[in-house]
Structure 1
Amino acid sequence: MSLSEPVGSQAPHLVIRSQRVDSVSAQLMDHLPAEGALAWVRRGDGHVGWGVAARLDVAGSNRFQDAVAWWQDLVAAAVVRDEVGVPGSGLVCFGSFGFTDDDPGELVVPEVIVGRRAGTTWVTTVSPASSLAAPPDLVVQEPAPVHDVAFADGARSGTDWSSIVADAIKRITAGELDKVVLARDLIAIAEQPIDLRWPLRRLVSAYPNCWTFAVDGLIGATPELLVRREKGLITSRVLAGTIRRTGDDAHDLALAASLARSSKDLEEHEFAVRSVADALEPHCTSMNVPETPFVLHLPNVMHLATDVAGVAANGASALGLAAALHPSAAVCGTPTDLARDLIGEIEGMTRGRFSGPVGWMDAAGDGEWCIALRCGQADPADPRRMRIFAGAGIVAGSDPAAELAETNAKLVPMRDALGD
C-alpha cells in the first residue's frame, strides 16, 4: 500500500518490524529492484530500500518545518517492533530537498529496508496498521549496463559559464559580497533507458568514503556531510577549496601542500566553516571548530576539509539541524541572502535538488543529511536522459578558467559512473 500525504494531512498508521538476517550480499546495492531504488551507503554500511509505505511531497518556505511535523506525527502513530536496536533500524525515512524553496522535496518511508551497521545486518518491513508484512526473500539482482552515453551542454556552455564567473568576480571585487557558489549542468543521453542501479554500483565501488545515495531518481556519491545527529552528538564535515588530482602520487602530495597554503582556497574554506559553526551554535552546548583544515583525498579531487562537532543542546532532529544549516556558504555563498540573489540572477538554471540536503532519519530524530553533490537527476519524462551537476565557490581571487576546470573535475564521478 502506498500513501502520498499532502502537507497538513494526517500521517498514516504504520507497523514496522526490524529483524536480523544473515543471507545478505556484501554489497547492499545488489538487492535493489529496477524501480524505486532508495539508498544510503558508505564503506559497506547503510540502508537500501524500495516500495513506498508513506510519502510526503513538500515545497515552499515552510517545507522543512512541514516535513519535521509530518515525521513526528508519523512516528507517534507507528507501532515499531525493533529486534535489532542499532541506529538505522526500526522506522526510517529517506529524503531529499531542493536548493530553493520553490524546488520540490520529499520524505519517503520504504516498504522494505535492508540495513547494515558494524557487522549487524537486518531487514525492516513497513506495513499499514491492518497488516504485518513478512520479510521478503533477498536475492541479488543484476542491473542492465549503461552503454553509448553522450554528454551535451546543459543550461549553459562552458564558455558562457566562465563569463558568468568573471561577472561574479567583478561584483565580489567591488565589495557587493564575499563569495558565491555557481553551478552548471550537463545532459547525459544514453541509447537505452538508464538503469540507475548500474551507476549506483559503480559509485559505491569507486568512492567508498563518500555517501552514495538514491532518492526519487536523484543519485550520487557526495563527500560532504551536512550534519549527523547520533545520541546527542552533532557533527558536520565542511568542504570548500578544491584541486584536481593527477594520478601521480608524488605530484598529488605537492598539490595537496599547495592547496593547504592557497590564500584563495583558505579564504573560501573559512567562509564555509564559519557559516556552519554559526548555524549550529544555537543547537549545541559546546562545539569544537578546528582552526586549520585538513586535505581530504578523493580519487578525482582533493578538498580542504574541516570536521565541526558539538554536543546537542536541544531536541532538534537531524532534519531540523539540516534546515538550520541550509544553504551553507559551501553551496550558496556569503552573505547568504546576497549570494542566493546573485545565483538566481546570473546562474541561468534551476538546480532542483542538486546542492540541497539528502539523507535519512530514524524515529528518534537521529540520522545523516549530506549535501547532494557529485550527483545526477534522472529525467522522469525520458528514462534515457539524466542531468548531472557541479559547482564551484567563487571569491575575489578566483580565475574563470580554473573554476571551469574544477567543475569538470567534479563531473568526473557521474560521467564515469554512466560510462561503459
Structure 2
Amino acid sequence: MPISRRKFIKTSLSATAALASPAISTRYAFGSDDPIKVGSLLDQSGAIASSGVTMVTAMEQGVAEINEAGGLLGRPLQLIQYDTQSNIQLYSQYAQQLALKDRVDVVHGGITSASREAIRPTFDRFQVLYFYNVLYEGGVCDRNTFCTGTTPAQTVEKLVPYAMKNSGKKAYILAADYNYGQITAKWMTKYMQDNGGEVLSVDFFPLDVTNFGPTISKIQAAKPDLILSALVGGNHVSFYRQWESAGMKGQIPIASTTFGLVNEPSTVDASVSADIYGCYGYYEELDTPESQAFVQKLKKRWPDIPYISELTAANYEGLFLWAEGVKKAGSLDRMAVIEALESGITYKGPSGDVTLDGVTHHTTRNAYLAQVKDRKWNVLETFKAVQPSDTAMVCNLKDNPRDNQQYVIDIDS
C-alpha cells in the first residue's frame, strides 16, 4: 500500500535531527574533534517530494554508516539538511545558508535541473564542493561539481533501440516542458533516427497538466508503433491511467525515461503499469549482494520507505564517492579532494561499480533495461560500465579546468 507522505517525511525528519545534533561526536566516541559538515538540499515537501524523501533516507543511512565505521579522518560527519519544499527560491536561500552560516564541507543536493542551476553558482562562488546525484539530461561542466546519476547516453541510448526492436520504427514522443524533457526528447529523436526510425510528433507538457485526452486522440490519429515518454511528476502519471481508460493499453508499447522513479508501478493499477519499458542505473529488484544489502538496510530503518530507485542509490553512492575522495586526499581541502576524485575513484555500491571520470566529473556506471511485470521491474539486460559519452562531447575539465557551465549538447553534430 502507498505510504502516507506526511508520515514518511516526519520519520525522515526525526532521523535527520538525530544525525545533525551536537551529541553525534559523543555517541560515536570520536573525541573532541569538530564534525565534518555535510550539507543536503532536497525536496521533502511540495510537488517534487515523492522524489526527495527517499533520497533523504539514503543520505541519512550513508552518514550513519560512515560514522559507525569511525567517520572520516577520525572525525564524525554531521548532516545538515533543509527541506527546499520544491521551491527554487528556497534552494537559493538555503544554499547560501549552508555555504556562509553552516560552513559545510560538501553539499549533496538538487533534484530538477532548475534546482541544480539555482545553487551551483553559489557553491562555485563560495568554494563549497557540490555533488548532484540525479539522472539528468547531461552537459554540466564545472570542476567544483560532480554529477553521479545517469545521462541519456547511458540509458536512453539503450532504451530506444530495444523498444524499437519490440514494436516498430515510428514513435510519438511525450515530454515534460522544461530542460530535462526538452533535451531528452532531442536524444530520443536522435536515437530513433540512428536506428532507422522516425518521430511522428513531439508534444511538451507543463508539470501541472493532468488532462491528456486531446493528446491521446492525436496519438490515435497518428498511429505510431511506439510511445516514448519523458513525462515527469505526479500530475503526469495521469497520462498512463487515461491511456488505459481510452482502451489503448496493449495496442502501442510505451518506453519511458522517468516512469518508476517515484513508485509508480506500486501506486497505479497493475494493468496501467504492465509492460512499460525503462532503463536506469538502478532498480530495487537487482539481484546482487550489494543491492540486496542496501534495500534491507533501508527497509529495516524505514519500514514504510517507498520504492528504492536510481535516485536513492545514486544519492547514497555520491556520498561514498565523496568520502573515498576525502580518504585518498587525507584532507578536507577542497582542491585536494577534487584532485583525488579526478584520479578515477571507484565505489562498489548497490548499482555496481561506479567510477568517477576525471575529465567530465560524471560517472561510468552500469545501466539496466527492464520491463514492468506485476508491479515490479523485471530486469532484461545489463550494460556494464557505460560511459557518459554525451557530456564528454562538450566537457574536458582536464584541458579546460576553468570551464563552468551547462552545455546544451549539439545532438546533430
Scaled by the length of structure 1, the TM-score of the pair is 0.25
- Which structure has the higher relative contact order (CA within 8 Å, separation 6+)? 1
Higher strand share: 1
Q: Per residue, is there more helix in 1 or in 2?
A: 2
